[in-house]
Structure 1
Amino acid sequence: MDREAKKEAFRKYLESSGVLDALTKVLVSLYEESDKPSAAVEFIKQKLGGPSLSEHEKLQAEKMDLQRKYDELLAAHRDACKELEELRNLKHEGDVKEMVDNNDAKEM
């Protein structure tokens, strides 16, 4: 496939997938802004649906906070499971001791 045919195929792909339309709308929106933003790329990202830098940083901080809380809850859950298992073992040992004591009492 020659170079021109590849370019044409790619252009058709961009057009059929809606990329050209979306970019055109965003660029027209930027053109029509009376107060041009100082960060044109951020404006384009925002209009295309991506989070702004401050939103991204906020989401990263929230994610880190949620991860910390998850880790704390997971550790508490593990501790509770360990404690429950220890209590079950103690109860089992107590049941066995009671059975032995009952057998000893019956044998007397």
Structure 2
Amino acid sequence: MAQQKASENKREQLRRYLEKTGVVDSLTSALVCLYEEPERPTDALEYLKKHLNVGDQALGEFVQLQQEAVELRQRCKRRTEEKKELKEKLRRYQPVSQGGAGPE
């Protein structure tokens, strides 16, 4: 009984939050537009995404950011390898210290 009450309370809090932030109105508007379409779209989810302004623009931006992240990781990897090579060259050309050990 107490668990059911807590669950209902959580649902009520979520409902109020969604109403307060405008999510309910946006979803209702998008669903009404879908309902009023003379021909149903083949992909209802895609229709809703576009109607909620999170469709192609946000997807395009996401893909662009993913590509940029991949490029930055590759650049970082190349720089790390380059740093390692330069350290090795430096170690070869630096004079040996009195203790007989090279720089670390």
Q: TM-score, normalised by structure 2?
A: 0.57
**Structure 1, unaligned stretches of length 5 or more?**
96-108
Contact 2:31/2:48 (8 A) holds in 1: no
Aligned to 1:99: none
Contact 1:46/1:52 (8 A) holds in 2: yes
Count how many residue pairs are aligned between Structure 1 and Structure 2.
86
Structure-1 separation of matches of 2:9 and 2:81: 55
Alignment of 1:20-99 (within 5 A): 20-22=19-21, 23-27=23-27, 30=30, 39-41=47-49, 43-44=51-52, 46=54, 52-88=58-94, 91-92=95-96
Q: CA deviation at 1:10?
A: 1.2
Q: CA deviation at 1:68?
A: 1.0
**Structure 2, unaligned stretches of length 5 or more?**
38-45, 99-104
Deviation string 1:59-83 (CA, Å, 9 cap, x unpaired) is 1111111111111111111111111
Identity, in percent, stands at: 14
Contact 1:42/1:52 (8 A) holds in 2: no
Q: TM-score, normalised by structure 1?
A: 0.55
Aligned to 1:10: 10
Structure-2 separation of matches of 1:56 and 1:64: 12
Decide which structure has the larger Cα Rg and report it: 1
Q: 1:43 to 1:85 in 2, by over 3 A?
A: farther
